[in-house]
Structure 1
Amino acid sequence: MTIPGIGPITASAIAAAVPDVSMFRSGRQFAAWLGLTPRPHSSGGKKRLGGISKQGDGYLRRLLVVGATAVMRMVRKDASRHPWAAQLLERKQVKIATVAFANKTARVAWAVMARGQTYQPVSA
């Protein structure tokens, strides 16, 4: 619950849905399991990434996106709290940036669970 965008409901849902975090090798694999990674449409060495794959647990994905939406609303008011998200909002549309933040949140959640530590925000 110390991760921005994850409250008690999301934390308990992740704890209930993920029995063993060691079944994922990385945070990217965990985010892909949730369906939060872009679907590739690549050929000939040219990378083309589409929308999210939407595979996996829709309830967890929805909770993470709703939490990321709440964080993005605060970022739009005060950009100094999450500079990465503020820079992303300058380049991308709000909904795309929100899903990207949800992806990042899922990766951070995996790292916290895999290491058995609490979230420590990086100071700017």
Structure 2
Amino acid sequence: MTYAHVELVGRVATTPVCAAVGARRVTNLRVAIDRPIQATRPGHTPPLFLSVCIWDHALDHQLPSLTKGQTVKVTGRLDTRTSAHTGLTYTHVVTDHIELMPPEVHRRAA
């Protein structure tokens, strides 16, 4: 099996939302990642927002401390899903690991 492994550092952009899906638990949130400013597009470049899914709360000990604006390092794999309502396909990160980072890490990466 092959998959796209990702590792990113960004800010928690939404309050994490927990839900039950059958017998499983999932927490969903979005992470904002700064994009480099390109010479062809001078000025402010808006951040990239990625959806992140944490299944079965393997990270239960960290979830209560995740709040909007915190800097996090997320590792996992890319996955897609299709909305039953709109038929659109969405890409999201299925998380293996989330690590809380000091804010200065994000400022250095920007």
Alignment TM class, shorter chain as reference: under 0.3
* Structure with greater strand share of residues: 2
* Structure with greater helix share of residues: 1
What TM-score comes out, normalization by structure 2 length?
Answer: 0.28
